[in-house]
Structure formats: structure tokens, C-alpha cells
Amino acid sequence: MKIDRRTLRSGEDFAAVGLAEARTVDLVSEHYAVAMTPLLAELVDRADPQDPIARQFVPDLRELETAEIERPDPIGDHAYSPVKGIVHRYPDRLLLTPLLHCPVYCRFCFRRERVGGAEKALDEAEMQAALDYIRDHEDVWEVVITGGDPLMLPPTRLAAMMQALDAIPHLKVIRVHSRIPVADPDRITSDLIDALRIERATVWLAVHCNHERELSPPAIAALRALSRAGIPLLGQTVLLRGINDKAETLEALFRALVANRVKPYYLHQLDLAAGTDHFRVPVEEGRALMRDLRGRVSGICQPTYILDIPGGHGKVPIGPAYLEEGIVMDWQGGAHDYAPDRR
């Protein structure tokens, strides 16, 4: 189905293209931001009631059910925010969030209580305060620019922010996190790419992608344009029930990312955001998937399976473990003695 070339934002919009009942979307939008780009709407297989793209972006009434374990601030951003726009959880790196708006709103977002709401982009004074904080903390080696989606900034404002960061001598790496290359690749223009290219610090771009079908021809073209410009690309994926919780699905995704010069970086255990329980895959299932992937794809296709500890205590790898008490497991599940340290 050819979709009207505008972002879907209302119940009427979603109903008009056959993706949801208007009442469902409107009820969910009273609590959480709603948006889906026309490209993603075109990619939905309407004959599949469990289409993995629709499940990620089309509002669902289950979002209004909050499980007991879920939290409004699941990774503790607020507790580690010394000034607006900064989250400083680790000594050598911090998050800079210049805005809290996105081209699409994932139905499982860990910042879903904040994104798309009244909070807009940092104004000039707020941006300067955030930059001053980074300047004053000389242990900060890396800044992760996130949001919201920072590539929604106009190229001129993005360039100004990147150049200001590049002028901070102790800052060596700038990592930008974005869904735009796959969700709204038309935004990856030469002006935007030029805004990302700075003189001194190294820029990395982490692309959020959860299913191979998100890698449409326009998305692939955008990724190629970024890599040709010399920007190294990382892939971030969230493990999601009914979307990518099969080994063959993850295999196809990670192969496709690597084939398009994107190194799979993290496979995230889903954060405990409100209204996301229907997406949650148990950790033991995630570990089993990672064991299966070890034999399916080469090391370059292997992400780290990661948990962001609730409450703001940081990210940790959560397995699987292959060596315990002198027994090592191979990729086929075979057990072997290995205890050279016991002498």
C-alpha cells in the first residue's frame, strides 16, 4: 500500500492507512507520544497481524497496563542529571540530550514518559550550561549524544554543537545515537553529514535497528553515505518478544547490518519502562539466543548482551558464560574440561 508522505501522528492517520483503530491510538496518545514515518508505514505487511515493524511503532492498548516491576525512570536518568541535558553516570563519559523529540516513537522506549512531550530542544542558555559542564569535567573522554534523536536538529544547529564539543581538548570521542538512518533516511543529507564531520575528535554513529526488514533500500543508501563519509557505524538492538526473539531473526539482522558496514554493538535486555511488559523476553531466553548465535555467525556479527541496571547503576554484560568451574561449553553445547589454572 502506498502511504501518504507524512508522519502518522493521530488515530485518524493510523486508521486511514489500515494500521490501527483510531480509538486505540488516541487512547494511547493521551499517555505516550505517537509517531510513525511514512517509510516505516510502507514497510508493514498488512497481511501479518504480528508484523515486526507494526509491533514496534503502532500503539497497542497493552501499553496502558503497567507491571509491578516497571518504573517511570527505569535507568535512573534523573538521579545522575547535574544540569539539564546532561546525564553523568560514569567518570569518563556522559550523555548529552539536546532534545527529546524523535521521528518515530518506539512503543517500548525507556524514556517514553519524557520523549515527545512538553520538553523541547535545549535553548541556547541551557546548551551553553551543558557544554560548560563538559568543559569543567576533564575526566570526560567521551560524550554520547542521545535524546530523543539528535539528528532531528537542523544541520546548522547540529554543526554548531559538534564544533563546540570538538573544541573541548579532553574530549576525544563523540558518539551519536539515532534511529533516523533507518526510520527517516531522507534526513541523511549532505548537509547533515557535513555537520557530523569535525576536525579533531572521532565521531561514531550508533544506529538503532531491531529487524532486518527495517533496512529498506533508502536506509541502506543512508548507511552507505555515512560510512563513505568516514563515520564508523555501530548497531544497537533491543531484544523484543514477537519481533526478534528467534535466533534466525537475529542472525538475519546482524548479517544485514555487517553487510552494510554497521558493527552490532549491543543487544539490550528491555528496560523496565511502564507499559512494555508484553515486549519483555526473559534473560535466560536471551542467553540461550546468544549461545545459538555463537555458532551461527562470526565474531564480527556478535553484539554484547547488555542490561542497564535499574536505578542508574550502569550497563553490564549478562552472558551467557561459557567457562565455569573448569568446564567450557562449545558453540554446539558440548562440554570440555579446561582447568589450566589449577596447578
Is 315 considered catalytic here? Answer: yes
Is 209 considered catalytic here? Answer: no
Q: How many angstroms separate the CA atoms of 226 and 194, rounded?
A: 10
> In which region does residue 18 sit, left (phi positive, over 0), alpha (psi from -120 to 50) or beta (all else)?
left
**If 0-12 CB within 10 Å is exposed, 13-18 middle and 19+ buried, where does residue 153 land?**
buried
**If 0-12 CB within 10 Å is exposed, 13-18 middle and 19+ buried, where does residue 220 land?**
middle
Output the pLDDT for position 47: 94
Is 133 considered catalytic here? Answer: no
Output the pLDDT for position 331: 86
Whether 77 contacts 126, CB under 8 Å: no
Catalytic, out of 9, 90, 166, 172: 90
Catalytic, out of 13, 32, 73, 102: 102
Q: What is the pTM of this model?
A: 0.94
Output the pLDDT for position 342: 66
Output the pLDDT for position 3: 45
Q: How many angstroms separate the CA atoms of 198 and 215, rounded?
A: 27
Whether 164 contacts 157, CB under 8 Å: no
Output the pLDDT for position 343: 59
Is 111 considered catalytic here? Answer: yes
Catalytic, out of 71, 93, 241, 296: 93
Output the pLDDT for position 2: 47
Is 93 considered catalytic here? Answer: yes
Is 136 considered catalytic here? Answer: no
Short-list 137, 150, 29, 175, CA closest to 100:
150
Output the pLDDT for position 230: 97
Is 271 considered catalytic here? Answer: yes
Output the pLDDT for position 340: 82
Catalytic, out of 51, 73, 149, 271: 271
Per-residue pLDDT in tens (0 to 9) along the chain, 343 residues: 444 568 999 999 999 999 999 999 999 999 999 999 999 999 999 999 999 999 999 999 999 999 999 998 999 899 999 999 999 999 999 999 999 999 999 999 989 888 987 778 999 999 999 999 999 999 999 999 999 999 999 999 999 999 999 999 999 999 999 999 999 999 999 999 999 999 999 999 999 999 999 999 999 999 999 999 999 999 999 999 999 999 999 999 999 999 999 999 999 999 999 999 999 999 999 999 999 999 999 999 999 999 999 988 999 999 999 998 899 988 888 999 998 876 5
Task: Give the CATH H-level superfamily of domain 65-337.
Answer: Aldolase class I (3.20.20.70)
| Domain spans in the chain, listed from the N-terminal domain onward | 1-61, 65-337
CA angle 268, 304, 271 (to 5 degrees): 15
